[in-house]
Amino acid sequence: MNSPAADVDVAGLLAAYDDQLRTDAETPGAVAVTRLGPLRLVAFAGGRGFVTYRDLGGADAATVRGLVAAALAHFRDDEAISSAEWKTRGHDVAPGLHEALVDHGFVPQEPESIMIGDARLLVADVPLPDGVSLRRITAEADVRAMSAMADEVFGDDPATSGHAEQILRRQERDPDMELWVAEAGGEVISAGRLEPVAGTEFAGLWGGSTRPEWRGRGIYRALTAARARSAVERGKVYLHSDSTEFSRPILERSGLVKVSTTTPYEWRR
Protein backbone atom coordinates (compact mmCIF):
# COMPACT_ATOMS: atom_id res chain seq x y z
CA MET A 1 0.00 0.00 0.00
CA ASN A 2 1.09 3.53 -0.66
CA SER A 3 1.46 6.05 2.13
CA PRO A 4 -0.12 9.50 1.82
CA ALA A 5 2.23 12.08 0.40
CA ALA A 6 3.55 14.80 2.66
CA ASP A 7 2.16 17.49 0.37
CA VAL A 8 -1.47 16.28 0.38
CA ASP A 9 -3.84 19.23 0.02
CA VAL A 10 -5.77 18.67 3.25
CA ALA A 11 -7.60 21.99 2.92
CA GLY A 12 -8.71 21.06 -0.59
CA LEU A 13 -9.95 17.66 0.54
CA LEU A 14 -11.87 19.24 3.41
CA ALA A 15 -13.43 21.83 1.09
CA ALA A 16 -14.56 19.06 -1.28
CA TYR A 17 -16.05 17.19 1.69
CA ASP A 18 -17.96 20.26 2.90
CA ASP A 19 -19.17 21.28 -0.56
CA GLN A 20 -20.18 17.87 -1.90
CA LEU A 21 -21.19 15.79 1.11
CA ARG A 22 -22.82 18.20 3.53
CA THR A 23 -25.94 18.42 1.39
CA ASP A 24 -28.85 16.08 0.66
CA ALA A 25 -26.14 13.69 -0.57
CA GLU A 26 -25.38 13.01 3.11
CA THR A 27 -28.83 11.62 3.86
CA PRO A 28 -30.00 9.26 1.12
CA GLY A 29 -33.15 7.43 2.08
CA ALA A 30 -34.50 10.27 4.22
CA VAL A 31 -38.25 10.14 4.81
CA ALA A 32 -38.44 13.90 5.32
CA VAL A 33 -36.09 16.90 5.48
CA THR A 34 -37.08 20.13 7.22
CA ARG A 35 -34.99 23.28 6.91
CA LEU A 36 -34.43 25.35 10.05
CA GLY A 37 -32.10 28.22 9.25
CA PRO A 38 -28.80 26.56 8.31
CA LEU A 39 -29.91 23.20 9.73
CA ARG A 40 -31.32 20.21 7.90
CA LEU A 41 -33.57 18.23 10.24
CA VAL A 42 -33.86 14.76 8.78
CA ALA A 43 -36.25 11.92 9.57
CA PHE A 44 -35.40 8.33 8.65
CA ALA A 45 -37.56 5.22 8.73
CA GLY A 46 -37.50 3.50 12.09
CA GLY A 47 -37.95 6.67 14.12
CA ARG A 48 -34.44 8.08 13.76
CA GLY A 49 -33.81 11.81 13.51
CA PHE A 50 -30.62 13.45 12.26
CA VAL A 51 -29.26 17.02 12.27
CA THR A 52 -26.66 18.23 9.80
CA TYR A 53 -25.64 21.41 7.95
CA ARG A 54 -22.99 22.86 5.67
CA ASP A 55 -22.04 25.38 8.38
CA LEU A 56 -23.80 27.49 10.99
CA GLY A 57 -23.50 30.72 9.03
CA GLY A 58 -21.41 32.58 11.60
CA ALA A 59 -24.00 32.18 14.37
CA ASP A 60 -23.03 33.38 17.85
CA ALA A 61 -23.48 31.30 21.01
CA ALA A 62 -26.98 32.61 21.71
CA THR A 63 -28.14 31.84 18.18
CA VAL A 64 -26.57 28.38 18.34
CA ARG A 65 -28.43 27.66 21.59
CA GLY A 66 -31.68 28.77 19.95
CA LEU A 67 -31.07 26.44 17.00
CA VAL A 68 -30.49 23.49 19.33
CA ALA A 69 -33.68 24.25 21.26
CA ALA A 70 -35.73 24.58 18.06
CA ALA A 71 -34.30 21.37 16.58
CA LEU A 72 -35.10 19.43 19.74
CA ALA A 73 -38.62 20.83 19.80
CA HIS A 74 -39.08 19.71 16.19
CA PHE A 75 -38.15 16.13 17.01
CA ARG A 76 -40.10 16.07 20.27
CA ASP A 77 -43.22 17.19 18.42
CA ASP A 78 -42.89 14.28 15.99
CA GLU A 79 -44.06 11.24 17.94
CA ALA A 80 -42.58 8.93 15.29
CA ILE A 81 -39.07 10.04 16.28
CA SER A 82 -37.59 8.03 19.14
CA SER A 83 -33.98 9.23 18.89
CA ALA A 84 -31.96 11.90 17.11
CA GLU A 85 -28.31 12.47 16.30
CA TRP A 86 -26.67 15.89 15.93
CA LYS A 87 -23.53 15.36 13.86
CA THR A 88 -20.82 17.87 14.78
CA ARG A 89 -17.54 18.49 12.95
CA GLY A 90 -14.37 19.61 14.64
CA HIS A 91 -13.50 22.27 12.02
CA ASP A 92 -16.83 24.11 12.26
CA VAL A 93 -17.15 27.53 13.86
CA ALA A 94 -19.85 26.72 16.39
CA PRO A 95 -19.54 28.75 19.62
CA GLY A 96 -21.23 27.15 22.61
CA LEU A 97 -22.54 24.16 20.64
CA HIS A 98 -21.25 21.47 23.00
CA GLU A 99 -22.74 23.19 26.04
CA ALA A 100 -26.07 23.82 24.30
CA LEU A 101 -26.38 20.21 23.15
CA VAL A 102 -25.55 18.78 26.58
CA ASP A 103 -27.93 21.20 28.29
CA HIS A 104 -30.73 19.99 25.99
CA GLY A 105 -30.15 16.31 26.71
CA PHE A 106 -27.85 15.32 23.85
CA VAL A 107 -25.11 12.93 24.97
CA PRO A 108 -21.72 13.10 23.21
CA GLN A 109 -20.43 9.82 21.79
CA GLU A 110 -16.86 8.88 20.95
CA PRO A 111 -15.25 11.26 18.44
CA GLU A 112 -14.14 9.81 15.11
CA SER A 113 -11.64 10.92 12.48
CA ILE A 114 -12.90 12.19 9.12
CA MET A 115 -10.63 10.40 6.64
CA ILE A 116 -10.40 11.31 2.93
CA GLY A 117 -8.09 10.30 0.13
CA ASP A 118 -7.61 9.72 -3.56
CA ALA A 119 -9.35 6.44 -4.34
CA ARG A 120 -6.55 5.42 -6.71
CA LEU A 121 -4.03 5.41 -3.85
CA LEU A 122 -5.92 2.60 -2.14
CA VAL A 123 -6.01 0.29 -5.15
CA ALA A 124 -3.40 -2.40 -4.54
CA ASP A 125 -2.89 -6.15 -4.47
CA VAL A 126 -2.82 -7.10 -0.80
CA PRO A 127 -1.78 -10.69 0.00
CA LEU A 128 -4.30 -12.65 2.02
CA PRO A 129 -3.62 -15.41 4.56
CA ASP A 130 -3.98 -18.93 3.23
CA GLY A 131 -7.61 -20.00 2.99
CA VAL A 132 -9.02 -16.45 3.06
CA SER A 133 -10.97 -15.07 0.10
CA LEU A 134 -12.88 -11.86 -0.70
CA ARG A 135 -16.15 -11.41 -2.52
CA ARG A 136 -19.01 -8.98 -2.99
CA ILE A 137 -22.32 -10.31 -1.65
CA THR A 138 -25.97 -9.60 -2.44
CA ALA A 139 -27.93 -12.70 -1.31
CA GLU A 140 -30.02 -12.38 1.86
CA ALA A 141 -28.32 -15.33 3.58
CA ASP A 142 -24.91 -13.75 3.00
CA VAL A 143 -26.11 -10.36 4.27
CA ARG A 144 -27.43 -11.99 7.45
CA ALA A 145 -24.14 -13.84 7.99
CA MET A 146 -22.20 -10.60 7.50
CA SER A 147 -24.47 -8.70 9.91
CA ALA A 148 -24.27 -11.44 12.53
CA MET A 149 -20.47 -11.31 12.44
CA ALA A 150 -20.50 -7.51 12.86
CA ASP A 151 -23.00 -7.74 15.72
CA GLU A 152 -20.79 -10.24 17.52
CA VAL A 153 -17.70 -8.07 17.02
CA PHE A 154 -19.47 -5.00 18.43
CA GLY A 155 -21.18 -6.86 21.28
CA ASP A 156 -24.74 -6.77 19.91
CA ASP A 157 -27.20 -9.65 19.84
CA PRO A 158 -27.82 -10.66 16.21
CA ALA A 159 -31.27 -11.94 17.19
CA THR A 160 -32.47 -8.55 18.39
CA SER A 161 -30.23 -5.87 16.82
CA GLY A 162 -32.19 -5.54 13.58
CA HIS A 163 -29.02 -4.64 11.68
CA ALA A 164 -29.52 -7.31 9.03
CA GLU A 165 -33.02 -6.03 8.26
CA GLN A 166 -31.71 -2.46 8.03
CA ILE A 167 -29.02 -3.46 5.55
CA LEU A 168 -31.48 -5.50 3.47
CA ARG A 169 -33.89 -2.55 3.29
CA ARG A 170 -31.07 -0.23 2.30
CA GLN A 171 -29.95 -2.68 -0.35
CA GLU A 172 -33.42 -2.50 -1.89
CA ARG A 173 -33.42 1.30 -1.87
CA ASP A 174 -29.82 1.72 -3.00
CA PRO A 175 -28.62 -0.97 -5.39
CA ASP A 176 -25.33 0.92 -5.85
CA MET A 177 -24.32 0.11 -2.26
CA GLU A 178 -21.77 -2.71 -2.24
CA LEU A 179 -21.30 -5.26 0.55
CA TRP A 180 -17.92 -6.97 0.73
CA VAL A 181 -16.80 -9.85 2.96
CA ALA A 182 -13.71 -11.88 3.69
CA GLU A 183 -14.32 -15.54 4.42
CA ALA A 184 -12.35 -18.47 5.80
CA GLY A 185 -13.68 -21.99 6.11
CA GLY A 186 -17.12 -20.86 5.03
CA GLU A 187 -17.28 -18.27 7.83
CA VAL A 188 -17.43 -14.47 7.44
CA ILE A 189 -14.40 -13.06 9.25
CA SER A 190 -14.35 -9.45 8.03
CA ALA A 191 -16.71 -7.11 6.18
CA GLY A 192 -17.26 -3.59 4.93
CA ARG A 193 -19.54 -1.48 2.72
CA LEU A 194 -18.84 0.80 -0.24
CA GLU A 195 -21.42 3.55 -0.63
CA PRO A 196 -21.05 5.64 -3.81
CA VAL A 197 -22.55 9.09 -3.20
CA ALA A 198 -24.75 10.05 -6.12
CA GLY A 199 -23.96 13.37 -7.78
CA THR A 200 -20.53 13.67 -6.15
CA GLU A 201 -16.94 12.54 -6.65
CA PHE A 202 -17.10 10.55 -3.39
CA ALA A 203 -17.73 7.03 -2.22
CA GLY A 204 -17.86 6.10 1.45
CA LEU A 205 -16.14 3.25 3.27
CA TRP A 206 -18.41 2.08 6.08
CA GLY A 207 -19.23 -0.81 8.36
CA GLY A 208 -15.71 -2.14 8.78
CA SER A 209 -15.43 -5.06 11.20
CA THR A 210 -13.06 -8.00 11.64
CA ARG A 211 -13.15 -10.90 14.07
CA PRO A 212 -10.48 -10.31 16.76
CA GLU A 213 -8.55 -13.51 16.02
CA TRP A 214 -8.10 -12.44 12.38
CA ARG A 215 -6.91 -8.87 12.99
CA GLY A 216 -3.44 -7.67 12.09
CA ARG A 217 -3.12 -9.96 9.07
CA GLY A 218 -3.94 -7.54 6.25
CA ILE A 219 -7.50 -8.73 5.71
CA TYR A 220 -9.24 -5.40 6.29
CA ARG A 221 -6.61 -3.64 4.17
CA ALA A 222 -7.42 -6.09 1.37
CA LEU A 223 -11.16 -5.36 1.74
CA THR A 224 -10.39 -1.66 1.59
CA ALA A 225 -8.33 -2.11 -1.59
CA ALA A 226 -11.11 -4.14 -3.23
CA ARG A 227 -13.68 -1.47 -2.45
CA ALA A 228 -11.33 1.25 -3.70
CA ARG A 229 -10.87 -0.57 -6.99
CA SER A 230 -14.64 -0.77 -7.39
CA ALA A 231 -15.01 2.95 -6.58
CA VAL A 232 -12.45 3.89 -9.24
CA GLU A 233 -14.23 1.69 -11.76
CA ARG A 234 -17.40 3.64 -10.94
CA GLY A 235 -15.63 6.92 -11.69
CA LYS A 236 -15.27 8.11 -8.11
CA VAL A 237 -12.27 10.28 -7.23
CA TYR A 238 -12.33 10.35 -3.42
CA LEU A 239 -12.99 7.87 -0.64
CA HIS A 240 -14.13 9.02 2.79
CA SER A 241 -14.85 7.42 6.13
CA ASP A 242 -15.60 8.34 9.73
CA SER A 243 -13.06 6.16 11.46
CA THR A 244 -12.55 4.86 14.97
CA GLU A 245 -9.06 4.51 16.35
CA PHE A 246 -9.14 0.86 15.26
CA SER A 247 -9.60 1.58 11.55
CA ARG A 248 -7.88 4.99 11.28
CA PRO A 249 -4.30 3.60 11.20
CA ILE A 250 -5.28 1.06 8.54
CA LEU A 251 -6.79 3.76 6.33
CA GLU A 252 -3.77 6.01 6.89
CA ARG A 253 -1.45 3.24 5.72
CA SER A 254 -3.74 2.78 2.74
CA GLY A 255 -3.52 6.42 1.68
CA LEU A 256 -6.29 8.36 3.42
CA VAL A 257 -5.54 11.38 5.58
CA LYS A 258 -7.32 12.81 8.60
CA VAL A 259 -8.89 16.14 7.66
CA SER A 260 -11.06 16.77 10.75
CA THR A 261 -13.07 15.03 13.44
CA THR A 262 -16.75 14.31 13.89
CA THR A 263 -18.60 13.70 17.15
CA PRO A 264 -22.21 12.50 17.22
CA TYR A 265 -24.47 13.74 20.01
CA GLU A 266 -27.40 11.43 20.75
CA TRP A 267 -30.83 12.32 22.14
CA ARG A 268 -33.38 9.67 23.07
CA ARG A 269 -37.01 10.20 23.91
Q: Candidates 3.40.630, 3.30.40, 3.30.1060, 2.40.50; correct CATH number of 10-113?
A: 3.40.630
Q: Which residues of the chain have pLDDT under 50?
A: 1-5
What is the pLDDT, as a whole number, of residue 210? 95
211-256 pLDDT, tens per residue?
999 999 999 999 999 999 999 999 999 999 999 887 888 888 888 9
What is the pLDDT, as a whole number, of residue 1? 42
Q: Which class is 117-260 in CATH? A: alpha beta
* Cβ-proximal residues to 11 (8 Å cutoff; 6+ apart), any chain: none
Model-level pTM?
A: 0.87
What is the pLDDT, as a whole number, of residue 6? 54
Sequence ranges of the domains in the chain: 10-113, 117-260
Three-state DSSP string of the chain: CCCCCCCCCHHHHHHHHHHHHCCHHHCCCCCEEEEECCEEEEEECCCEEEEECCCCCCCCHHHHHHHHHHHHHHHHHCCCCCEEEEEEECCCCCCCHHHHHHHCCCEECCCEEEEEEEHHHHCCCCCCCCCEEEEEECCHHHHHHHHHHHHHHCCCCCCCCCHHHHHHHHHHHCCCCEEEEEEECCEEEEEEEEEECCCCCEEEEEEEEECHHHCCCCHHHHHHHHHHHHHHHCCCCEEEEEECCCCHHHHHHHCCEEEEEEEEEEEEC
Identical fold, 10-113 and 117-260: yes
